[in-house]
Chain A
């Protein structure tokens, strides 16, 4: 049905009374999901990895990456509009290419690799919010324990429990939670921004040194922190050479690629066929997150000092990757959470705890997304009979119980590796790489849709000129560039390239597992009299 946008004054469509002619879902819901997914705290956490590419400009790499991710938004908005099905990338790749392609990239990207996101979510949350709060309330022992292997593991289990709960309560309840979490969290961010704006650098240094002495017994901590700046760090977020700025793009992709995280859910979203509305929702979420982060970085530069911010990140990564002795760091191996440092400006423990807790809702509101999108991919492949029927079982209360188990149980195993096998933490970028590989194939699916899925393309509301395929090609090249940098990583900057044997083995296990599942399913279904390919193959028209 045509929408009002661009509609001429005269009558262009006569409708009769028939089922289903309702107005679409609110643009706000889609915006919120994209905003949470392009999470500003994942961004701030991701900046830690920029210390490995000190010659690049953080600001310009954010801008360049955002421009390319806007193309991703167009590609996904187009695919959602043409095929608004629960299952997203899996469905599109299956329909445009082949069932096997859709499953291998869909399962690895939306299912298997999200097991690794669990300990990453946990680490982000523990280090950014939980540990700082524990330090402030005097529970230093508990904070120290959270840094141990068991602490990391238990935090991951708590993450699994919360992510499972948020999916179990259903989309409606989750959307309501997200709504509240967004507004309260943003209110906290606004308070933090005002604090940073009205505080002088001298006052910040005094506050920081006071709290570091109180919490860690470290004297002149600001000056000590700055001493840990790595070699060749740029003098500001704008400074940096061209080559290294481009090398920072995969670092920025770690948080900026995700405004399309809701792609697997759009089969359940009313109005998803509206191409432009999809763009507004996802691009809005992306640009809002980028805008907030840039304002944050400007305020950090003004109040904390860029060199200090970079040095605090380098200190933490140095301790984590064992190139700096934690004993030489004012906060030991603790992450100097920007949220906590901002709260310290006010010399009041209760205020500090409340501010950190309120801001943390930006992360907690996002947590359910880690399993929610995955369950939809699992459902879609169960409907196509690659996975057994029982996988799509939903309880009378609407809980996708088996799909959740397929997420939760392996997440426990991967979390255990992450917690107890120190080298596993270096696989962090695999979490992005595997999804990026899926996005790359989805980009190809978009480019080839006019030829490989003619009926869908012709019946879609997408503009039929060359502009969309061209956008698709540029996006594919962008994703290919990222994949190339990640894989062909001579200096092991991102840590997951061909030089990291563990990373290669880990990814090989994921892809081989997906291929094996598909082959088994293919053999079983063929014996039962209907090949898997037939499920998704287009029926002839004539």
Chain B
């Protein structure tokens, strides 16, 4: 029997994208949902109280003035949907966070944990009673402790470092760890260590390659899945249209050695593409989270040893 997998990745704190991801099973008639990492947001938008019942925040070049708690809630929702964390602050608190890096770090930590916990609660309610298998694998931008929050879910399975059983005798081997980036993120390491990690995960699989699926956040090196603007690691600047392959050689080598039927990736938002590496179809559906859109891929596995078809989606 056919198995339909829907894979999306890199929602980066966008609440609208998380909800759409959970709802995508019905939309695409998928049996399995896989989120490929980088759930957590990158920025906090301070909503500064300027007077009693009056707040102001600035986002995407627009200054928003909020009157009353209804408008405040609406503003917070808009910020969350964009992938940022809204935090209501007094001007003094904002200045405190501006000057105190440690305190700001703690605020980020708290926001991420709270948000992931609320997402899990929402997803559990939504998935209750359904037969959909939902797997979430954190990515390099996600702190290690969010795995524990995900693990509290009744219906979400945590992919990191595991081999999970999928329907019809398929298995998913996944990891959110990547090769080194200029941003010194929580889950990154050099290529030899990454290869060691990935091989140790893949070794847990008990199915033949034609029934094995990889969910690896980093895309394989030197493919159309890993093209990103070339940047200066010191200044984090990019000039002109220079681009570079920034994927992982370890991921590529493991794919070449194991040849799973399907390999799912993310990490490089602008490199939405699918390529074949030997017998493996490797896909990076990219990410459009700032637009509130879920970029994904629907893959039909035939239940035997073939990948019937795949289709990149945007919903």
Residues in chain A within 8 A of chain B (CB atoms) = 1-3, 5-8, 10-26, 28-29, 82-83, 85-86, 95, 171-172, 175, 267-270, 273, 275-276, 383-385, 389, 392, 394, 398, 455-456, 458-461, 463, 525, 528-530, 534-542
Contact = CB atoms under 8 A, between A and B. Distances in A.
17 contacts: A7-B61, A13-B44, A17-B183, A19-B141, A19-B185, A20-B269, A22-B229, A22-B238, A23-B238, A270-B229, A456-B292, A463-B62, A536-B314, A539-B315, A540-B23, A540-B27, A541-B19
A540 B243 CA distance: 35
Contacts of A85: 288, 314
B270 A539 contact: no
Nearest to B142: A18
Given A14-B44, A455-B16, A530-B311, 14 more contacts: A2-B60, A10-B95, A14-B45, A16-B42, A18-B42, A20-B269, A25-B238, A455-B291, A459-B292, A528-B309, A529-B300, A530-B28, A535-B314, A542-B19
Contact of A539 (B20, B82, B242): B20
Nearest to B217: A19
Interface in B97-117: 97-98, 104-105, 107-108
A83 B16 contact: no
A2 B64 CA distance: 13
A456 B19 CA distance: 15
Contacts of B136: none
A461 to B, nearest CB: 3
Nearest to B99: A11
A461 B267 contact: no
Given A15-B43, A19-B183, A459-B81, A10 B242 contact: no
A534 B42 contact: no
Interface in B292-306: 292-294, 298, 300
A458 B14 CA distance: 13
B94 A10 contact: yes
B248 interface: no
B46 interface: yes
Interface of B: 12, 16, 19-21, 23-24, 27-29, 38, 42-46, 48, 57-63, 78, 81-82, 84, 91, 94-95, 97-98, 104-105, 107-108, 140-141, 181, 183-185, 224, 229, 231, 236-243, 267, 269-270, 272-275, 288, 290-294, 298, 300, 308-309, 311-315
Given A2-B61, A16-B108, A267 B19 contact: no
Nearest to A541: B19
B32 to A, nearest CB: 15
Contacts of A23: 236-238
Nearest to B224: A394
A21 B294 CA distance: 20
A133 to B, nearest CB: 32
A164 B128 CA distance: 54
A539 B311 CA distance: 15
A25 B45 contact: no
Contact of A13 (B43, B62, B105): B43
B59 A456 contact: no
Nearest to B237: A23
Nearest to A95: B314
Per CB-CB distance, the 4 closest pairs between chain A and chain B, nearest first, are A461-B60, A459-B292, A12-B58, A539-B315
B311 A535 contact: yes
A534 B311 CA distance: 10
A22 B291 contact: no
A198 to B, nearest CB: 37
B177 to A, nearest CB: 13
Contact of B270 (A10, A267, A384, A392): A267
Contacts of A463: 62
Contacts of B57: 12
A456 B293 contact: yes
A3 to B, nearest CB: 6
A541 B58 contact: no
Nearest to A86: B272
A2 B59 contact: yes
B43 A14 contact: yes
Nearest to B77: A458
A529 B82 CA distance: 32
Nearest to A6: B61
Nearest to B281: A389
B43 A8 contact: no
B291 A459 contact: yes
A535 B274 CA distance: 16
Contacts of B42: 1, 15-16, 18, 20-21
Given A12-B57, A18-B183, A268 B236 contact: no
Contacts of A385: 311-312
Contact of B313 (A6, A28, A534): A534
A16 B57 CA distance: 18
Contacts of A13: 43-46, 58-59, 84
